[in-house]
Chain A
Amino acid sequence: MALKRAVRKTTKRKVSIAKPKEKSMAKKQTQPESALPYLVFGTLFGYFLSKARATDYDSIVDMFLCREFQLYGVILTAIAVVALGLFIIRRKGIKTKSGAPLELETMDWEPSRLTGAFLFGAGWALTGTCPGTSLAQIGEGKLVAFFTVAGILAGVWAYKKYKPASSSNEEQVC
């Protein structure tokens, strides 16, 4: 596990949002974290996805048929809000709640990822949902989403277990 993390460190490019002043803060805490805040963040995310109508098969279809602006608007607004927020955080040097400078990782582009992205897009069109919204659909009472979620679990499992030879050696960011 420790080795794996060390390997990952070298392949991932760290983008420092706030200028790191103390290196010691970058060390991750070993104590287990409370699950509740993440549960709350997840609930908020699911709530907004549902409010955005991103959990509706027909609105995904209308997005891909370019009949409706709704979901494009949602994605674009979300990107704008996050980008603006990160800009402000960088400008004002705002630290995270734990006091560490905010560092978020990004990965380098590799052409082999094109295939994965295409498969994802195909799955998005077929199921009319992405991994996040499929779980929100379950909460909404759309029972067919259980099959989508089972499929996603199987897909993630299969990728990690039988990684295609041409695929990237890098880990994922999310």
Chain B
Amino acid sequence: MNPPHEPINWHLFFSHIGQLIISDTWAWWAAGIGIGLTALGLAWYKGRRLGVTGGFEDACAILTKDESTFAASPSNWKFWFILGLPLGGLLANIGHWGWTWLYGRLDMITFGSMLYKVPWLLVGGFLLGFGARWAGGCTSGNSIMGISLGSKLSIIATLVFLAAGILITNLLFKAL
């Protein structure tokens, strides 16, 4: 599209690329391809199934030293995997990084008070951990990896995840 008399502005080009790498969010297809390739890489590397909640169970096994209740993964690879997640979050936003206690529209629901926000998130987190183990996996293990493998359990679980999420969110934001 550049007319011949107007050379490409390489400086602008690279600053856009840099911006994409260290601070901007991406289009859904670009981020989706990245997540898909990560899952494939993990499968190719040693036949591992992408999953996050297993890492939490590893953490439980490490913290309680109770290997009979909590099934730790071989070499605790799942624990090391989830340890990388905060690092990824940091790198993705390093261009405009800053800490905050704010949390989007949840501040509106909880009147901006930590007194409500903390128990809210603790209870919600408890449901996430408890439900993920019960359902056999979370969004990564069931919705991404399980569906790709054509597992009936994963397909039903994902539909129920979404149905419950849509129901609760609509109750919170539309009905109340």
List A residues at the B interface (Cβ < 8 Å). Answer: 1, 4, 15, 28, 32-33, 35-58, 61, 63-66, 69-83, 85-86, 89, 94, 96-98, 100, 102-110, 112-132, 134-145, 147-161, 164, 167-168, 170-174
Contacts and interface: CB of A to CB of B under 8 A. Distances in A.
Contacts of A37: 45
A140 B106 contact: no
Nearest to A105: B49
A43 B88 contact: yes
Nearest to A129: B128
Chain A interface mostly: helix
A1 B72 CA distance: 10
A83 B148 contact: yes
A172 B137 contact: yes
A134 B143 CA distance: 17
Contacts of A38: 77-78, 80-81, 84
A128 B68 CA distance: 32
A60 B99 CA distance: 20
A100 to B, nearest CB: 6
Contact of A117 (B45, B47, B86, B156): B156
Contacts of A122: 124, 127, 131, 164-165, 168
Given A82-B144, A113-B136, A128-B104, A160 B70 contact: yes
Contacts of A56: 104
Interface of B: 25-26, 28-47, 49-54, 56-57, 59-60, 63-64, 67-71, 74-78, 80-93, 97-101, 103-106, 117-118, 120-154, 156-157, 160-170, 172-174
Contacts of B47: 96, 98, 100, 102-104
10 contacts: A38-B78, A40-B84, A96-B44, A102-B43, A106-B146, A131-B53, A135-B85, A141-B97, A168-B136, A173-B141
B61 to A, nearest CB: 9
A138 to B, nearest CB: 5
A51 B34 contact: yes
Contact of A55 (B41, B52, B75, B89): B89
A25 to B, nearest CB: 10
A35 B75 contact: yes
B138 A139 contact: no
- Find the residue from B47, B67, B151 having the highest chain A CB count within 10 A: B47
Contacts of B154: 106
A77 B87 contact: no
Contacts of A102: 43-44, 47
A173 B69 CA distance: 16
